[in-house]
Amino acid sequence: MPLNDLELLTLIAILRLGEGAYGVTIHEQIERTAGRSLSMAGVYNALDRLERQGLARAWHSEPRAERGGRARRLYALTAAGRERVKREREAALRMWRDLTPDLFGRKR
């Protein structure tokens, strides 16, 4: 099943963040690194789709130590998710190979 841009960015953010990835940190990672403004709802929708596709898994942390602390829903890539990120990266690099900066100014 094809991934949309947000799903791919979400997978990459989880990979970058490691085992401590949760909704807020994933959102911040995408906004900071990719320079994209997006809603938290968009991130959570992408996470739900990635879980259903078997590319990410979620679990709850222990409740936070502060008074009234809640558990966080943490995310990690599955083996299939890691493989998918690897394939997507390789495909993008193949597409960029042999392109030179002068092509960006060329009109068609």
Look at residue 104 and tell me if it is in a domain.
no
Q: Any idea how long the chain is? A: 108
- 3-class state of residue 31 by DSSP: helix
Instruction: Look at the chain and report how many structural domains it folds into.
Output: 1
pTM summary value: 0.85
Look at residue 35 and tell me if it is in a domain.
yes
Look at residue 88 and tell me if it is in a domain.
yes
* CATH number of the domain bearing residue 16: 1.10.10.10
Element (H, E) at 21: strand 21-22
For 35-80, how does the pLDDT look when each residue is reduced to its tens digit (9 = 90+)? Answer: 999 999 999 999 999 999 999 999 997 777 676 678 889 999 999 9
- Residue-level pLDDT at 68: 65
107 falls in which pLDDT band (50, 70, 90)? low
Percent with pLDDT over 70 in the chain: 93
Domain containing 39 equals 5-62+71-97
